[in-house]
Chain A
Amino acid sequence: MAKKLEQIEADAQEILIAAELIRLGARMQLLEAEVVLSRDRLMKLYKQVRGVSPPKGMLPFSTDWFMSWQPNVHSTLFANFWQQVAETDHRRRLITAYQLYLDTVDAVQIEPVLSITRAWTLLRFLNAELLQLTPCSQCGGHFVTHAYEPAKTFVCGLCHMPSRAGAGQENRKHRLAAAQRSLPVKKNRRRVASAVTG
């Protein structure tokens, strides 16, 4: 009996985490990899939270996206937050770091470019040592680069801005970012978060 109760509690925990990830825009692949719930339950949950079926198809698998100027700045910001968040559950760590990233770009009135699924992919790339954080030789900030970037000569994209950096930002605004913004969930999200941690 006691075991069953534990099981239920663990399930509830997973559901809360999954719901929060979905609200932040996570794709099914992320959920399936990180949450201990069956695919069916995740699909159902996704529909309940978002009101639509989860998008199909593969996730982009390329480290190049993180190297272009604007995504690099955003992923660097996220990676730095992630490093700072001390949280034992790595899903909570992802959620908290991503939340910090969203809050920050929100505060300086920039559209988020990095989706939570991309953020998660970034962490996997960092883990697999395809990418790394390299300190810029000029400003000292830690930036996302390819693995084995020679640190001595590395200059970050913000110290040495490419001439067209940031141009055409309006057109490139991420569709996902817009979708996230339209979801009136900010208050809810917090309540859910505090219900778990508190």
Chain B
Amino acid sequence: MPAPDFAEEIRELNLNFLILAQRMAHDNVAAAAVKLGVAEEDLRWLQTLSPAKLVRLAQGAMLVPQFRFDGALLKQLAGDVGRDEAAAQLHALILAQAKPRKSPIVGDDDGEKT
């Protein structure tokens, strides 16, 4: 039995993410940027992509979306539960907001960042 390479799963996850990002950006770019942790410029670029291009972007057995927080915060978000679970969760969410968002990745056609 061949070892699983998870390529299919990764492709599906990528595609799910890209389609969701497109939909959210279409609904409200500013809100989508905050929720996804992706720069608005990148979301706008993503919106212009055709389905065929999305599929191509999703292929390649490498994950497109990535962790946006550092380890300490991830641990806290995962449930570093203190006395009050709800409070701990809100605390982690507030700290998540303080982290700087990613700067745009996708540059203009001439290769310069917008």
Contact = CB atoms under 8 A, between A and B. Distances in A.
Interface of A: 73, 76-77, 80-81, 83-87, 92-93, 96, 99-100, 103-104, 108-110, 135, 139-143, 158-159, 161, 165-166, 190, 193-194, 197-198
B59 interface: no
B90 A165 contact: no
Interface in B3-29: 26-29
Interface residues of B, number: 24
B93 A96 contact: no
Given A81-B97, A140-B95, A100 B35 contact: yes
A169 to B, nearest CB: 9
Nearest to B82: A161
A86 B27 contact: no
B31 interface: yes
B26 A166 contact: no
A77 B97 contact: yes
Interface in B69-98: 82-84, 86-87, 89-91, 93-95, 97-98
